[in-house]
Structure 1
Amino acid sequence: MAGLSELGRFSEPGLLIMVALADGPKHGYAMQDDIAAMTDERPGPGTLYGAIRRLEEQSFIEALPEEGRRKPYRLTDRGRTVLAAELRRIHALSRTGLRRLAMP
């Protein structure tokens, strides 16, 4: 199964969007708020919507019916699987790096 690495240099914004959607559907502005809370950096609209488009093309997320002027998105089952695998990979890398630095 393809993973986030297929998004190339756009994989980090994609990962952040998928984490933002992991607890339920959100529209773009809510995703920006959630990502800012996680990273202390708010993605710009170009970065956000470009990554959303690429995630939709990979069937990692899907748009839901619009709510007024807002268009919510949610993770697909494929997206949940890819996100879980990527988070496990990052977790293992982080554990190894911290152990090598002799940090808890």
Structure 2
Amino acid sequence: MAREQFQNLTEPMYYILIALLIERCGVDIMDAVSEISKGRIRVGPGTLYTLLGKFEKETIIRETEVKGRKRSYIITEKGKQILLDEYARLNTLIKDGSLYMEEKQ
């Protein structure tokens, strides 16, 4: 089921998983997403914690530490495979379109 649900990641999902290649808490994830995307993608707390809950339920990420209200997470091997699959899919889109798009420029 998880593979179907996360077969094509949204941009926030993709950048959150990239951010979680390193253990981070929620605020650090939001900052990392903005930094990695050069400010193009900003994830608010509502979106972030909704996605973290879904990812955790499907064992795409795991919680690593809880200090009061601060929770930290990291991507799992399953999550890394989903991220790599999405990276390959995006590269395929670029390759497939490159000949056609270069002609239009």
Q: TM-score range by the shorter chain?
A: 0.7 to 0.9
Q: Report the equivalent of 2:20.
A: 21
Partner AA of 1:28 in structure 2: G
User: Percent sequence identity over matched residues?
Assistant: 28
State the 4+ residue runs in structure 1 displaced beyond 4 angstroms: 7-10
Please say if residues 64 and 73 of structure 2, whose CA atoms lie closer than 8 Å, have aligned partners that are also in contact. Answer: yes
What RMSD, in angstroms, separates the aligned Cα atoms of the two structures? 2.4
In the comparison of the two structures, how many residue pairs are matched? 101
- Greater share of strand: 2
Identify if the C-alpha distance between structure 1 residues 100 and 2 changes in structure 2 by more than 3 Å, giving closer, same or farther.
farther
Q: Could you tell me the TM-score, scaled by structure 1's length?
A: 0.81
Identify if the C-alpha distance between structure 1 residues 102 and 60 changes in structure 2 by more than 3 Å, giving closer, same or farther.
same
Alpha-carbon shift at residue 34 of structure 1 (Å): 1.0
Q: Could you tell me the TM-score, scaled by structure 2's length?
A: 0.81
Give the one of 32, 35, 44 matched to 1:34: 32
Please say if residues 18 and 75 of structure 1, whose CA atoms lie closer than 8 Å, have aligned partners that are also in contact. Answer: yes
Q: Which runs of 5+ in 1 are unaligned?
A: none
